[in-house]
Each structure stands twice: as structure tokens, then as C-alpha cells.
Structure 1
């Protein structure tokens, strides 16, 4: 068995890994590269493998940096199955449709403003490509072993990252001289004890582990302290009379924020605010969560039958229409606005930032990872001025990084998950910048005594 890394090797987006086993070629994830404009330009480049040679795709979860190039793969000729969890399949319909809509909108904008003689801009893929892609999705429940190609078996286990997220175990049958080999791909791992989702599954054995390393260099802040900090931000913003903007990923982070709002509705005096979920995609995702409550942990199951329900807070307004979103721009204070995208690379949050960044009593609360080159990363790093919609906007608003709400495992949790292996299989670190994965590699070598390498673009390892 051989694995070749074609994405998320030294970066945290663009997850894409090619596995060759038993004469078959299996693709693990096919995600969008996100960040700087030149990085995102790589999405349109030819795939570094023959698309028609791929026999199957296994998708770890629905986040766009893991799934966002699937329609492009299909557009370029892939006709095989895309195996994933049923909840991921439901989320994929929403995520890919939104991604196509953004791509089409960006192309239309570029064409309206293109210079004479400049070539026409074309979207990476369209809604038609998304429809074709969804026809190829095949579902696989957790804990079921399935042969997806002759001699190649797969099993998905709960990764605890977002609804339907999966750890992938993949076996390639051996020969008479060699036993079957087993690859474990962590996908994106969650943390033990986070709201709504169950803990990541511990896997007992592997011949090679491909492990994410997004936060491999640090522990997260204590979640209890983080929740307390959120309450303090709301109290301060209320006192100052400003708005609170929360750029949030439509899947995962938004639902957890609403969960905490329900738990602390009275403590944080949230009844005094107008709360907006200004994300058509996130509104649709709420329905998916309600359809898959069997995946919730025990505490979330109790919260879902209590009052107030996280998705039905008395002053929560779901704004799906553009006109409804535009009305929010007139509000100068007293509003909590949750909007995508989580890294401020697109979506409605950019319009709200345009209206609020110049206000000293406004607060911007980042609750998720901000990739290098994104607007969110520039704000977190202290930019005093940013460019939005052709305007230079002065940053007077107060910017908060509330890292304790991450849906990614931190260094202690990654070490704990790896500790579930009975022996100490070799590890390849993916889905992390070098500043995060190098410290994790050292820690794994020191504490676990295992062999660790860092995935490099285009490089291969034997299993």
C-alpha cells in the first residue's frame, strides 16, 4: 500500500491523499485550498493524478477544505462512488451548493469588472456539477466494514469534530508473503467533552497513522474559562452599546455557539439582545442536526428537549433572504450577528465587518481557526486597516480570539488519541502548518517513542 500526499501537507486546507492498494487507487478527501488569492488559484490547476484512474473516494467530513473539490473531480471525469457517513452526505448537499454559488458569484463579479481584452472568468464548478456529484455519494454508517474495491475495505468511526465526521480505517489485502496492511486516517479530530458531539473514537491498531496537526503546537484554553469570557464580552458590549460580530463556520461552530446561548441565556442576559443567524447555509444545517440527534452525546440530548431550545431561542432571527441581511446593517448596537464565513473569506460576515469595523464599541469574536492569508487571520494578527469591497476600512473595533471553542483536537488531545493505539505505529502528520506540526512531531517522539514524519506535497510513503 502506498500513500501520496496531494493536499494539506504543510498547510491546513486542501485535504487530498491518494492511496494505492491491491491495484486500486482510492482518494481520501478532495478539499478546496483556502487562504491567499494565489493559494486559492491552485484549485483550478490540473489534479496531480489521472482522474479516470481513481476507483473510489472516501470523504472524512463535509467541511469545504476536505470536500470542496469533489464537483471539480466529477466535472473532470470521475464517475466512481464517494463513500461517506449519512450525516456528511446530508451536509454535503448544503456545503457544495453554497460553494458553487460563491464560485459563480465571484466569476460574475469578475466579468462585470474585467478590463478590455481580459479573458472571461469561469467558476471552478457550477450547481449542475454539484448535482452530478451528489448522485455518486454512497453512505456508510459508523462501525461497518465495507469492501469498496476488490481487496480494499474501509470502516468509518466517529471523529467527534463535526456532525458525521469520520476517522477512516482502510485495509489492503496482502499477498501470500505479506499480511494485509492497515492505514488509519484521522480526518479532523474533535476533543473529548465538547458539546453536542461524542468523543473521538480510539483505534487500537494500524500499520500507518495519518494524523491531523492543526493545533499540534499548543493546548486550547479551558472551555469553561472560554465560555466565561464570552459572557464577559457580551456584558461589555452591552454596556458600550455596540454590536457583536461572530464569524462562524456554518457547520459545527454555529451550532455550538447556539448551544451555549441556550445554556447561559439568563446568565448572559441574552434576552436583552437581538440575535441574528445571518447565514442561509447555517439555517439549512440546523435541520440536518435535528435529523441526526442520535449522534449527539448525552448532555446535548437533554438540552434538545429543554427550554430554551438552542435553535429556537425566543429572540433568535434566522435571516435567509438578502433583504433581511441588509436590514441588519442599519443596526448600530444591541445585536449579536453570527454569519459566515468563519475565516471571513466570503459570505455575509464581510458586509457586517464593513459596517462595524470602524466603530470603537463594536466587538468581533473569532471562535475558530484562521488560516494564513485570510481576512480573519489579518484581523486576529492585529491589522489596523483592511480592504473590503474596494474600500480601505479602518479597524477600530475590538477583536477577540476565543480559542477554547475550537472543534479541533489540541496537542494534549492529539497525544491522547494516538495513545489509543496498542503498539506505536509510525505517524505522518498532515493538515497542519509546520509551526504546529513540528512541535507535535517532537512530542510524539519524546512521549510515545514512535517514528514521525511530516507529509510533503507530492511525496509518498509505503504502508
Structure 2
């Protein structure tokens, strides 16, 4: 009985773990690596696809499901177990991913041929994606599914996305029995639409995500305690819309097509219904993304059994929680182009969420230079992406070969992350009634996963380890299993580096504050430089706050 970590091992994307039991080979997730992870681990499968008997899929996001069509293309003929909602989302998301693979291959082929080289084949096609769907087996939450003799599985709500799951896997090999729990992506608590994560009470081994294992999410200023009510989130969004519309600009929201777009629509319905923008009763909202539109229809049709109590109360009253009269969905290119010819202010939601591709880039081109508009980020922006550059205060960006000045307001919608922060992860892990034998920390980058493993071992006393790609362990020979590095090897150097960085930033803080004070005294419209000054000051203050939090968590040794 073995476990091998192929993807999202000291990386965030490309989740893929192999479990072996009684000569059977099972994958938990088969995700597509993205960004720097793709460069490090590659996108081809590091095993024989035809040898895999089963796949257990935590949810539909491409970094967890995106290599399933490749698995089938390479010879897989087993069964893929997932919740019904995950199956429906995979049907549209994998086809969309296949389309992207084909377009990228076509672009690379044209470039290669111009250099006198051979063309490039797509990783898989839309046809491969459609063919993969025949192997899916839909499962209900909280029901134990017999897979075969000695193997059982159960899906529990992970609170991350419609249909997302934490997976319980029971294995029997001879007289030995082991229970594995895979957390999947653990959602934030009190998110719009979907339920909070379920707790699981027992496991021998836990494979757990650690995306935000080293941080606490920033909350809206008027939030009280750890809970963020829908009204607080909606008011923050309303305030942004109100001031932008008063300037005569648009609110442009880069959003992930599946999950985040629907959560924003939920909040917008509240803003409009409660008239939280007192100066503007009519708030035109456009969703400009074919995949977002398809996903919204899936969400709208999967309300029962997946949505939280607040959402179901709306449904019982005959209210669709993510649709409203002023919402317009756009799928064709002409409709998308027409948006940027509008004279009236509006809210535009488009993908991709990190601004790396898709129609959002066109909307940015038409709004970044407008001081009256706002670009509102609603999700994680990875390093090296266009979204991260804009959020970090870039003065200029390049779009379609043209340099565009960034003159608009740039801000974030807080408290809407799809991943639990450190407190949420610890809350989920401490729900086990009996301490697991070992917890493997995955789905975190090479700094965060080992850090969180050490943190858990020190504060909770649970033996932990942050595996690297291709690490393989015997689950029956516990003595052979490694444990995390001692906390002082991982955490204390990190805190010292953080202190040094903060000291360097603090040297410039007084100069920045002078600009901020001048802005407050003038009481005039913020200039671009003043906006950057405010963002820099806030960033320094957040860093100082985070450092103090970590030092408290880790004690005086960090001084």
C-alpha cells in the first residue's frame, strides 16, 4: 500500500496523487500544471495511463481535472468518481480547456513553421475532452460508494466550489486497513452561495492543501470577528460601484469563470435589491465570457443539496440568487466589442481571472487609461501575471503590443477568497476526533507547504511532511515515513528575512506618508501618484501586522 505525489507537491497547481492497494492503481485528481509549475513539473503524465484503474476527483477546476482528457487519450479505460455537480462542470470546463489547447498549438505551430520547424500537436482536443466524459461516475455527498473489494470512497462538501469535495478513501490489503482523507481545496467559511466545508472525524493519513497556510485573509474594515456577513461584502462592492459611477467610469472585474463569477453575481443581486448604491438605482451588469455564462447556467440549475441555508431561503421564495433583470450575458464577439463602445457606466465581469488571456484583456485596454474607471480584483493574482502587475501598482502595461497607462482606480474585494486561510485550515484539521498518524501538506508553493507543515507539527503536535514531486511512501511501514523539518530550520529564517524586508521598506514610509497627508489636506480627487502612495503605505502596514502575528504564533525565538 503506497502513495506517490506527482503534482501540487511544493507547488500549487497540477494536483495528482497516486494510491496503490492490492495491485490497483488510483489517482486522486489529475490536474493541469499552470504557470511556473508547468515549467517545473511538465504537463505530460509521469505514469502509464492505461495502468490506472480509478480516478477520484475532488472538483472541476482545471488545476485538479485538466489532464483527465490526456489520461483518456493515452489509454485510461477505468472509472472517474466525482459529485454530480463536478461532472456537469467538467463537461464544459474540459471542453473549454481542449479548445484552449488547440488554439495554443495552432499559434505555436505557425510560429514554428515560420522558423522552418515542425508544427506542434495540442495536448488534447475538445473531442478528447468529450470522449473523457463517458468514464465519469456521478456520486452523491455523504454516501459511501463501494468501488470494489477492499476499496470504498465517500465525498464530503469542501465548500470551495459547486460540487467540490474532501474525499475519504478506505483501503484494505490483506489484514491491514488504512483510511486516507484528501482535503481537496478547502473553502473559506461564510462564502456566498455554497455551504461551509464539512468536517471529517477520522483518518489514518491526511493529504491536505496548504495554499494559504502562512497567512490570514484580510477582511473588510466593517467586518466583526472571523465571520463576514453577506451584507458586509455587498456594501464594500456597492461603495466601489457608487464612487466609480459618480466619476462616469466602468467597474471592470477580472473573475474566474467558474465559482468566482457566480459569487460576484450573488453579491450584485444583493446590491441592487437592497439599493446599496443610493445614487444609482439602475446598475447594468454584463458577464462577458462564454465559459462563465455556461457555468452560471450549471450553478442556477444545481441549487438543491449544494447551496447554503441563506441561498436556499431565497430559492424557497422564488428568487434566483445569481440572476436579476439588469444582468446581460454575452457569448458572441460582436457583443463583447459593443461593450467598449458604451457611453453609460456599467459593471463588466470577464475572464480570465488573472488577466492572462480572454476577453478581459480587451476591457482592460479600454479602461486602464481612464481615471474615472475602476479595475476590481476578486481573486488570487499569481506572480508574473498581468493581474499581479496591475495590482502591484504598475504605471504601464503592454496589451496587444501597445503600451497602456494605468490611470484607473485599482482595488481588491476582500474576504471572498475560495481557499481557507491558516486559521480555516487549522480549524478543519483539528476537527478530527483522533489525531491522524501523519498529515502530508500539498497544494502550497515551496515556501508555504514546508512552512505550514512545520507550523502544524509545532502547534498541534501532528506529525507532518511536505512531499516533493515523485516522493513515494509505504503506508503500511510507518517507521519509513519522513517528518517535517524542525520549525527553526524553516520558519525562523523566513521571519528574519521578513523583518529585514520590512526594515528596508520602512525607510521609505515617511516619504510616502508626506504625500498621503498632502492628499488628505487638499481634499481633492486622488492623483495616480497619490493612489500608489496609499497602496504602498497600506502594504507596509499589512506586512508589519503579518510579521507581528507570526512572531506571536512562533514565540520569542523569532526576535
CA distance in 2, matches of 1:209, 1:390: 47
CA distance in 2, matches of 1:175, 1:318: 56
For the 8 Å contact 1:242–1:332, the answer to whether it is kept is: no
For the 8 Å contact 1:60–1:187, the answer to whether it is kept is: yes
CA distance in 1, matches of 2:69, 2:40: 15
Q: Which residue of 1 aligns with 2:50?
A: 52
TM-score (structure 1 length as normaliser): 0.93
Measure how far apart 1:233 and its partner are: 1.5
| Correspondence 1:130-141 to 2 at 5 A | 130-141=129-140
Q: Which residue of 1 aligns with 2:201?
A: 204
Q: Which residue of 2 aligns with 1:30?
A: 30
CA distance in 2, matches of 1:301, 1:187: 25
* CA shift digits 1:354-405 (9 cap, x unpaired): 2222222221111112233332223223333333323333323322122410
SS in 1 for 2:286: strand
| Correspondence 1:370-449 to 2 at 5 A | 370-425=381-436, 426-449=438-461
For the 8 Å contact 1:345–1:375, the answer to whether it is kept is: yes
Measure how far apart 1:27 and its partner are: 0.6
Q: Which residue of 2 aligns with 1:71?
A: 69
SS in 1 for 2:371: coil
Q: Which residue of 2 aligns with 1:253?
A: 260
CA distance change for structure 1 residues 77 and 42 in 2, over 3 Å: closer, same or farther? farther
SS in 1 for 2:415: helix
SS in 2 for 1:446: helix
Measure how far apart 1:308 and its partner are: 6.6
Structure of larger gyration radius: 2
Q: Which residue of 2 aligns with 1:241?
A: 248
CA distance in 2, matches of 1:356, 1:43: 37
CA distance in 2, matches of 1:123, 1:383: 34
| Correspondence 1:43-442 to 2 at 5 A | 45-114=43-112, 115-176=114-175, 178=176, 180-222=177-219, 223-224=228-229, 226-265=233-272, 266-269=275-278, 271-294=281-304, 295-305=306-316, 309-331=320-342, 334-425=345-436, 426-442=438-454
For the 8 Å contact 1:34–1:371, the answer to whether it is kept is: no
Measure how far apart 1:138 and its partner are: 0.9
For the 8 Å contact 2:356–2:387, the answer to whether it is kept is: yes
SS in 2 for 1:434: coil
CA distance change for structure 1 residues 43 and 438 in 2, over 3 Å: closer, same or farther? closer
Number of paired residues?
A: 459
Q: Where does the alignment leave 5 or more consecutive residues of structure 1 unmatched?
A: none
CA distance in 2, matches of 1:329, 1:308: 31
RMSD: 2.1
CA distance in 1, matches of 2:416, 2:83: 24
CA distance in 2, matches of 1:14, 1:385: 32
Q: Which residue of 1 aligns with 2:542?
A: none
Question: Comparing 333-342 with 43-52, which one deviates more in the overlay?
Answer: 43-52
SS in 1 for 2:105: helix
Measure how far apart 1:132 and its partner are: 1.0
More helix by share: 2
Q: Where does the alignment leave 5 or more consecutive residues of structure 2 unmatched?
A: 220-227, 476-559
CA distance in 2, matches of 1:153, 1:280: 37
SS in 2 for 1:6: strand
Q: Which residue of 1 aligns with 2:521?
A: none
Of the three residues 452, 457, 460, the one matched with 2:469 is: 457
CA distance change for structure 1 residues 291 and 407 in 2, over 3 Å: closer, same or farther? same
SS in 2 for 1:331: coil
SS in 1 for 2:216: coil
CA distance in 1, matches of 2:350, 2:317: 25
SS in 2 for 1:84: strand
SS in 2 for 1:264: helix
For the 8 Å contact 1:245–1:352, the answer to whether it is kept is: yes
SS in 2 for 1:99: helix
